[in-house]
Amino acid sequence: MIKALFESEDDLLGLTIYALLVTVIAVAATMLITRATNKAKAALTRGKNDEE
């Protein structure tokens, strides 16, 4: 699959591009999960304050 995506003579270059792409996706996913978690915590905190 990697060869089909990155048809390069230099295997190191192709793998480096692949590693960068995977890293960017992982960082973006982590940021989205963190943002969603913080919003959920804030909503729970607001809900508890409203009950009191």
The number of folded domains in the chain is: 1
On whether residue 23 sits in a domain, the answer given is yes
Show pLDDT as tens, one digit a residue, over the chain (52 residues): 656 665 656 788 888 999 999 999 999 999 999 999 999 999 998 877 766 5
pTM above 0.85, yes or no: no
On whether residue 25 sits in a domain, the answer given is yes
On whether residue 46 sits in a domain, the answer given is no
Measured torsion, CA atoms of residues 13, 15, 18, 23, in degrees rounded to the nearest 10: -100
